[in-house]
Amino acid sequence: MNYFADFAALPDVFRSAEKGRHYRSTPHGCVTVWSSDLWSVVRRAPIFVLDDMRKPSDREQRLGDDHYGLFKRILDDRVARPLVITSNVDPWEPPGGGVPELVRLFDDRIADRIVCGTVFELAGQSRRHG
């Protein structure tokens, strides 16, 4: 089985799991999912998809330390294991030079771990913006 996580929701999901307030439906009812269960999934899933790693909105101002710490640990736990990250964050140096957007958002260590893998740029018209 493969697993999917929404980047924006990561801190809330892990916080609720640490408190025993994260649940999963099963045919026999709801079961509590603890943070150790979530980390086990991150480490053991044949493929893990982290969706919409993005710049914070104007409302959010910046990514919190929770996002950074969780994202770094996911990258560490998925070394040599398939990890798919979808994002609108540009990992490359902008034309004319400067600091890549990915480095500004996180730092050199995170950016290096991401771009040392295979990066595909998907171009085309936005489905959301017509």
**31 torsion bin: left (phi>0), alpha (psi -120 to 50), beta (else):** beta
**Strand ranges in the chain using DSSP code E only, listed in sequence order:** 3-6, 23-26, 29-32, 48-53, 83-87
pTM of the shown model: 0.79
The percent of residues in the chain predicted with pLDDT above 90, rounded, is: 25
Q: What is the pLDDT of residues 22-80, one digit of tens each?
A: 888 889 899 999 999 999 999 999 999 998 887 766 555 556 678 888 888 999 999 88
DSSP helix/strand/coil, 52: strand
84 has which bridge partners? 49
To which residue do tokens 């493929």 refer? 47
Domains within the chain, CATH numbers bracketed: 3-115 (3.40.50.300)
Q: Is the pLDDT of residue 130 over 80?
A: no
Structure tokens at 78: 């998925």
